[in-house]
A and B are shown apart, each in its own frame.
Chain A
Amino acid sequence: MGEKLDRNQLIWLSAMGLLIFFGLWTLAAWVELAPRKFLPLPWEVVERGLGLVTKPFSGQTLQGHLGASIERYLRGFVLAALIGVPLGLLMGWYRLLDHIVTPLFDSLRFIAPIAWVPFAALWFGTGIGGPTMIIFAGAFPPCLINAYRGARFVEKKYIEAAQVYGASGPRVVYEVLLPASLPSIIAGLRIGAGAGWQSLIGAELIAANTGIGLMMVRGQGALDTSIVMVGMIAVGVFGLIVDVALRGVESWVNRKQGR
């Protein structure tokens, strides 16, 4: 394996990588490899993005669309976490519940979340409800699986110790399994957050009346590539912020637990 690079080398090579990427892009657009409306110059995309902050497109400004997406996202994700995590923990403790839920869960989990879109639209409409259900379908499995695994791999001695002191089932779940499986739960939340965000974009592309996905589809319909690219950047940046925040929580929990 190569030796670690010194700082200068690292900065130099990274800058070169970015330069190559943006250089090729600019060159391709500049010589009009494809018509300008299909391949805009990088700064035209930035300009379009800044323009969208004040000038609405498809009924909303950029931040308006993003806000609608984030609202749905939070609803779906919080719902998935509030149901998935406790259910996973309880399944880790109560065998009967495990026996009942696992076969159902296993028979549903191979369905790609996005395949629920037609039912979601039928049952909950294309406003808030339908897309929320898709986010839920994306974020729920990792939340449940990780809480369950965390609870199942808690060392027996902790559980036995709690029982010796007379802790009842619910207390064992809440005071032993929950804290002991916290790292696994947080990891599940992070995976779920990513899956939920991706599912939301899919749902909004297909069936929604507002949101960043809708903005992208409308941009696509108008053959306005810069709008599509602005949407991709917005989606990427928000997803990155959520991921970094949850990574922070993850390492904080791990530090607190001395791992």
Chain B
Amino acid sequence: MKARRDPVRPIIGLATMLALVGFWLVGSKVGLIDPQSFPSPDQFWAAAKQLTIGDGYADGRIHSHVLQSLKLICLGFFTATAVGVPLGLWMGWSRKAEALINPIFLLIRPIPALAWIPLAIVWLGLGDAAKVMILWFAAFVPSVINSFTGVRNIERPIIEASAMLGARGWNLIKDVIVPGALPSIFTGLRLSLQGCLTALVAAELLGALLGMGKVLYQAGLDIYPAMILAGMVPVALVGFALTALIDWVERRSMPWRANH
């Protein structure tokens, strides 16, 4: 959300957060917050310590869970967008390719990524392969759609002018089509990455040996609210970090746009 420029803003924001934390501290002490449903700060602290520097939880400490999840996200994201972006560009460029592929794509598109989970488990089991398949579909659909619209939204005169100036083949693709479609491609990549994170957490909640979702799954099973809360923190941080990363790549790859 675009922030308003206002000097009191950070002060009020900070005050709100402090008030909430204060409510949490006091509420847990006097029994306003039931520790069976929401952990007290002490319990949360203990769970966080156990997860980070203690014995770990759900068969690993935090770094092994996060690394496992990140590895799968990378695998799914890159294999899907490596196919999805060129496919979308090609469908945008060639009406024939669009006519041929679009009907198949329209069959896949309405199926949410999470609905692939049971099929992936039946086919590939609970290991990494099934997760990559789920993430693949989560990232594939947005990357195709947005690359496709990116090409279609390039103004025709630009393409005609560059064709007239002698750009064709690979040059036309590299210097006109891809840069022209790039803002839209990035919209797609952003959605793909978000989709990957959601799909991965869901897939790990349904069965995994390691991973951020596994922590949540185990904590839910053990009815251990402090660990549920502690397990949500890495999910939020990874979500934040991935968004920041793609923002950064986007700015670097499109220096001609001052701020999008």
Residue positions of A touching B, CB distance < 8 A:
1-5, 9-10, 13-14, 16-18, 20-21, 34, 38, 95-96, 98-100, 102-108, 110-119, 121-123, 145, 148-149, 152, 194, 197-199, 201-202, 205-207, 216-217, 219-220, 223, 225, 228-229, 231-232, 235-237, 239-240, 243
Q: Please, how many angstroms separate the alpha-carbon atoms of A223 and B107 in the complex?
A: 23
Please determine whether B119 and A243 come into contact, CB atoms closer than 8 angstroms. no
Please determine whether A201 and B99 come into contact, CB atoms closer than 8 angstroms. no
Please determine whether A235 and B115 come into contact, CB atoms closer than 8 angstroms. yes
Cβ-based interface call for B12 (8 A): yes
Interface of B is mostly: helix
Question: B194-209 interface mask toward A, CB cutoff 8 Å, 1 = contact, 0 = none?
Answer: 1001100110011000
Q: Please, how many angstroms separate the alpha-carbon atoms of A104 and B16 in the complex?
A: 8
Residues of B203-233 at the interface with A, using a CB-CB cut-off of 8 Å, are 205-206, 212-213, 216-217, 219-220, 223, 225, 228-229, 231-232
A216 with B118: in contact, given A3-B95, A112-B197 (CB under 8 Å)? Answer: yes
A219 with B110: in contact, given A5-B95, A18-B103, A206-B202 (CB under 8 Å)? Answer: no
A239 with B110: in contact, given A9-B99, A122-B37 (CB under 8 Å)? Answer: yes
Residues of chain B at interface, number, CB under 8 A:
68
Residues of B2-17 at the interface with A, using a CB-CB cut-off of 8 Å, are 2-4, 6, 8-9, 12-14, 16-17
> Chain B residues with Cβ under 8 A from A148's Cβ?
1
Please determine whether B104 and A18 come into contact, CB atoms closer than 8 angstroms. yes
Choose from B101, B115, B201 the contact partner of A112 (Cβ within 8 Å): B201
Choose from A106, A107, A207, A216 the contact partner of B115 (Cβ within 8 Å): A216
> Chain A residues with Cβ under 8 A from B197's Cβ?
112
Interface of A is mostly: helix
Nearest chain-B residue to A145 (Cβ)? B1
A220 with B121: in contact, given A118-B216, A122-B220 (CB under 8 Å)? Answer: yes
Please determine whether B206 and A102 come into contact, CB atoms closer than 8 angstroms. no
Please determine whether A122 and B13 come into contact, CB atoms closer than 8 angstroms. no
B140 to chain A, nearest CB (A): 15
Please determine whether B12 and A99 come into contact, CB atoms closer than 8 angstroms. yes
B47 to chain A, nearest CB (A): 13
Q: Please, how many angstroms separate the alpha-carbon atoms of A102 and B17 in the complex?
A: 11
Please determine whether B115 and A100 come into contact, CB atoms closer than 8 angstroms. no
A105 with B1: in contact, given A21-B104, A110-B239 (CB under 8 Å)? Answer: yes
A1 with B114: in contact, given A110-B240, A112-B235, A118-B217 (CB under 8 Å)? Answer: no
Please determine whether B198 and A113 come into contact, CB atoms closer than 8 angstroms. yes
A114 with B228: in contact, given A5-B99, A235-B115 (CB under 8 Å)? Answer: no
- A-B contacts, 25 of them at CB < 8 A, read A13-B99, A17-B102, A17-B104, A18-B103, A38-B122, A38-B123, A95-B4, A95-B6, A100-B12, A103-B17, A111-B235, A112-B198, A114-B114, A117-B220, A118-B231, A119-B232, A122-B220, A198-B113, A198-B198, A205-B206, A225-B122, A231-B118, A232-B119, A239-B110, A239-B112
Residue positions of B touching A, CB distance < 8 A:
1-4, 6, 8-9, 12-14, 16-17, 20, 37, 92-96, 99-104, 107, 110-119, 121-123, 151-152, 156, 159, 194, 197-198, 201-202, 205-206, 212-213, 216-217, 219-220, 223, 225, 228-229, 231-232, 235-237, 239-240, 243
Please determine whether B228 and A205 come into contact, CB atoms closer than 8 angstroms. no
> Chain B residues with Cβ under 8 A from A111's Cβ?
232, 235-236, 239
Q: Of B96, B117, B118, which is in contact with the most chain A CB atoms at under 10 Å from its CB? A: B118
Nearest chain-B residue to A219 (Cβ)? B118
> Chain B residues with Cβ under 8 A from A104's Cβ?
16-17, 20
A40 to chain B, nearest CB (A): 11
A119 with B198: in contact, given A229-B119, A232-B119 (CB under 8 Å)? Answer: no
A118 with B104: in contact, given A1-B156, A111-B236, A240-B110 (CB under 8 Å)? Answer: no
Q: Please, how many angstroms separate the alpha-carbon atoms of A239 and B201 in the complex?
A: 21
> Chain B residues with Cβ under 8 A from A240's Cβ?
110
A205 with B94: in contact, given A17-B103, A119-B228 (CB under 8 Å)? Answer: no
A99 with B112: in contact, given A17-B103, A113-B198, A117-B220 (CB under 8 Å)? Answer: no
